Chain A
Amino acid sequence: MSDRKTWIMLMPALLVIVAFFIAPLVYSFLLSLNFFSITSNTTVGFQAYASILGSKSFIDSLAFSLTIAAVSTVVSIAVAIVVSMALRRTFIGRKLALFVYQFNIPVPHLVVAISVLLLLSQTGLVSRMLFALGIISAPSDFPMIVFDQSGLGIIIAFVLKFFPFIGIAVLSLLLTTIDDYEMQAATLGAGPLRRFVYVLLPMMMPSILFSSILVFAYAFGSYEVPFLLGSTYPKALSILSYQEFTDIDLNSRPQALAIANMITLVVVAMVILAYMQLNAMNRMGVRKDGEA
C-alpha cells in the first residue's frame, strides 16, 4: 500500500523523463539506423556507424573530446583538493573566500568561455599587458591558447567551471564527517601525509568520483565551449555531430545521429562503471566500520 503510494508520487517525474528524454534517445538510435529514411535508396542497418568509424575526422574528434574531458577532469580534481584543503582552516577573509569559491559554479559556460576568449586570446587582455611591459611585440608572439589544436583554451574554461563544483562537495565533507576521523588518526600518531593518503583521500573518493562523472560527461558533450574556443580541426564531437545534422545533404543525418549516439554510449558506460565502483566502495566502507 505504502509502496504503491511511493510509486504514484514518483510517477509524474518518471513519465516526463521517459517521454521526453528516453524516447528521444531511442528515436535517435532508430534514426541512425535509417529506420525512418527520408530518401528511398537506403536500407536499414548500421552503415552510418561503419561510415563514421572509418572516417579520420570522427576518430580525431573522438580522441580530441576524450582528451579534453579527461584532462579537464583530472586537473579540476587536483585543484579542487588543494583549494579545499587550504580553506579548511579558519582565517580572516575565509567567508569571502568561500563566496568566491562558489562563484563560478552557476555562471553559464557560455560566459566563462567568452571571458577566457577576451582574457587569453592572442589579442586578449593578458597579451595586451605583456605588450605594455615590452615582453612581446605583436599579438602573434603571444602563445596560441585559444583556438589552438590541443584545446588548451577549452580546458582552461572547463577547469574554471569544474574545480569549484568538485571542490565545494569535497570541502563540505572535510568540514563535517572527515574531521573527526582525521583527529583520531592524528591522536594515534599519523603524520599529515599519512593522514591525507589513508584517511582523507579514501573518504573523499566517492564524492570526487560522483562529481567527476558529471564533469567529464559535460566536457565530453559540451557544444558552446568548444564552439567559441576550439580550432577548426579537430572539432569536438558535439560540433561535428551538429554540423552533420544541419548539412544540406539529408543523407548525412544518420551519421550525425550515430555520432550523438556514440557520445551517449560513452557517457552511459561511464555512469554504469562509476555506479559499480561506488557500490564497491560503499561495501568496503561498511566492512571497515564493522571492524572498527
Chain B
Amino acid sequence: MFLYAAVVLPVIPIVMWSFSFRWAYPRLVPEWSSRAWDYVFGQQNIVDAIITSIAVSTAVTALSLVLGYTAAKALGTREFKGKTAVEIFILLPAIVPVISAVMGMQGIFTRLYLTDTFLGVVIGHTVFTMPYMIMGLSSVFRNYNMEYEQAARTLGADRWSVLMEVTVPAIFPGLVVACLFAFVVSWSQYLLTLMIGGTAVETLPMLLFALMGSGDYAVASAVSIVFILPVLILLVLTSRFLTTNGVASGGINQI
C-alpha cells in the first residue's frame, strides 16, 4: 500500500546507513559496523549537542506554557469580539516562514545583547512554538467545564490549588500533547538557532547539518535517529488519544 511505502521506505536507508562502516556504490548492503553509534555516544560534541537541544527545547516548552496558558484558556472558554482576528494573529508565527523574521530578529537581539546566548535562542524559539501551544491548549479548554473551578472556589480553594488540583488534572492529557508539540517544534529549529545562537548554542539540527556537509552519512544517520526519538514519544502518546476518541489529535492538527 502506498501509505506504508511513503512512510516506511524513507526510514530504511537511514537505519542501514547508521550501522554501516562504509557503503560504496553499487553495494546493496553496507559493510556492517557499529562505528557510527560508538561515535555518537563517544564523541563529546554529539553528547553536548543532545544535552543543549534538550535544555533549549525544555526551557522553550516551559516558557511558552507559562506565557501562553492564560491566552489559551481565554480562547478556549470565552467568546469575545475580535476572537477570530486574535486567533489569526497568534497563528502568524506558525504561518510566516522563519526566514522572514529571523534577520530582523537578529538585528534586534544584537541590540539587546541576546545573540549568541542560550536565553536569546530560547526566546527566539518561544515565539515560534507559542502558536502550537496556544492552539493545542485552547482546543482542550473548549471541552472543559468551568463549573468545577467555580465549585472549588466556592468551597474555599485558593487560585493556586484550583489550578493544581482541579484545572491541571482535568486538562492533563491535552496539556501533555500540547507541550510535546511545542517541544518538537523547538527541537526541529535550525535556521533560527543558527542566526541567533551562532556557534555558542550548538543544537542537534546544527550538528546534523554539519555532518551532512562533511558527507559522513553513517554518523549523520545515527544522529538522525537520535533526533527523531522525541517525535516517537509524541506519536505514541497522541495515538493513545486517537484510539480512545476517534481522531482526537485532529485538534492539534488544526494548527
Contact = CB atoms under 8 A, between A and B. Distances in A.
Interface of A: 2-3, 6, 8-14, 16-17, 20-21, 23-29, 31, 36, 79, 83, 86, 95, 97-112, 114-119, 123-125, 127-129, 131-132, 139, 160, 163, 165, 168-169, 171-173, 175-176, 207, 210-211, 213-214, 217-218, 220-224, 227-228, 237-238, 241-242, 245, 256-257, 260-261, 263-264, 267-268, 271, 275
B103 A257 contact: yes
B134 interface: yes
B96 A6 contact: no
B239 A99 contact: yes
23 contacts: A9-B78, A10-B75, A14-B71, A14-B89, A16-B126, A20-B126, A21-B93, A24-B107, A27-B108, A28-B101, A28-B104, A110-B188, A112-B10, A123-B25, A128-B25, A128-B27, A139-B26, A169-B253, A176-B247, A214-B95, A221-B99, A264-B97, A267-B95
Contacts of B255: 214
A99 B241 CA distance: 11
B173 interface: no
B83 to A, nearest CB: 9
Contacts of B74: 6, 9-10
A108 B100 contact: no
B118 interface: no
Interface residues of B, number: 86
Contacts of A27: 104, 107-108
A165 B252 CA distance: 10
Contacts of B27: 128
Contact of B71 (A9, A31, A175): A9
Interface string B52-93: 000000000000001110110111001011000010111011
Contact of A103 (B7, B25, B90, B188): B7
A228 B208 CA distance: 11
A264 B235 contact: no
B190 A110 contact: yes
Contacts of B243: 95
B242 to A, nearest CB: 6
B97 A119 contact: no
B100 A118 contact: no
A100 B7 contact: yes
A16 B253 CA distance: 23
Nearest to A137: B26
A77 to B, nearest CB: 15
B122 to A, nearest CB: 11
B164 interface: no
Interface in B197-230: 205, 208-209, 212, 217, 220-221, 224, 227-228
A279 B219 CA distance: 49
A105 B208 CA distance: 20
Most chain B C-beta atoms within 10 Å of own C-beta, residue among A17, A25, A211: A17
B73 A9 contact: yes
B7 to A, nearest CB: 5
A53 B66 CA distance: 43
B162 interface: no
Interface stretch (B11-19, B32-40, B150-158): B11-19
Contacts of A217: 95-97
Interface in B1-54: 1-4, 6-14, 16-17, 25-28
B28 A24 contact: no
A140 to B, nearest CB: 11
A115 B11 CA distance: 7
B119 interface: no
